[in-house]
Amino acid sequence: MALTVISLNDLLKSDSTLEEINTLLFSFECKSLSHGASDVEEFLHTKAVNFEKIDMARTYLVLSEYKNKPYLAGYFAISPKPLVIPKRQFAKLSTSQKKKLMGFGHRTDMKNYECKGYLLGQLGKNYSEVAKKANQLSGRDLLTLAYGKIKEVYAIIGGRILYLECEDNEKIKNFYRDNGFRQLEDYISPNNFCLFVKQIKDL
């Protein structure tokens, strides 16, 4: 199995036309119509290119081959964005969770909690017919590839944590727990998503 990670930003600067790039992006399909899954699909289809242009996030496409033809196996998007928990939400956390967070973050002048790190904004496997037949990429593989890019940035500018939001789905939450993320049990984002964190040193 040969997996190649290509930056969408580099692709946009290449000789590829926007039509060719969109054809590739729209070959990505989710297997579910749940809120979280549809967001992963919609991001790649309608937001990723614009996010690159305004430097809001970097999207990486994972490509492979099936029957000698390239296809999109999955993708991930990351942003250098601190984790900020409003003081009201922080106050609701358990004492043990507060202590753990304060171990690698701090309270701001506004009494919010802040920790320097990176947001894993999107992570998705392609469930198109071709991708399913090829079956060359697992969720763990995709996380490992994302870790590689985050480590590259961390070596240059530092940071403390990697965090992400996901829907309140036990299968999805167990996936992140099995891969070393910890859920902030008493925290729900404004989008009604759960919050998971992992220290950079543990990637």
Could you tell me the residue ranges of all domains in the chain? 4-202
CATH class name, domain 4-202: alpha beta
Picking from 40, 3, 48, the residue whose alpha carbon sits closest to that of residue 22 is 48
Q: Quote the CA–CA distance of 66 and 184 in Å, as a whole number.
A: 40
Please tell me the total number of residues recorded for the chain in this structure.
Answer: 203
| CA separation for the pair 21, 64 (Å, rounded) | 16
Q: What is the pLDDT of residue 110?
A: 77
The CA R_g of the chain, rounded to the nearest whole Å, is: 18
Tens-place pLDDT, residues 121-149: 999 999 999 999 999 999 999 999 999 99
For 27, 34, 125, 136, the CA distances from 30, given in Å and listed in that order, are 10, 9, 8, 16
Please give the DSSP secondary-structure letter assigned to residue 3. -
Q: How confident is the model at residue 54 (pLDDT cuts 50, 70, 90)?
A: very high
Residue 20's closest CA among 49, 52, 50, 55? 49
The pTM assigned to this predicted structure is 0.91
Report whether pLDDT(36) > 60: no
Quick one: pLDDT band at residue 1, thresholds 50, 70, 90?
Answer: low
At residue 34, the pLDDT reads 60
**Average pLDDT rounded to a whole number, residues 104-133:** 90
pLDDT at 32: 66
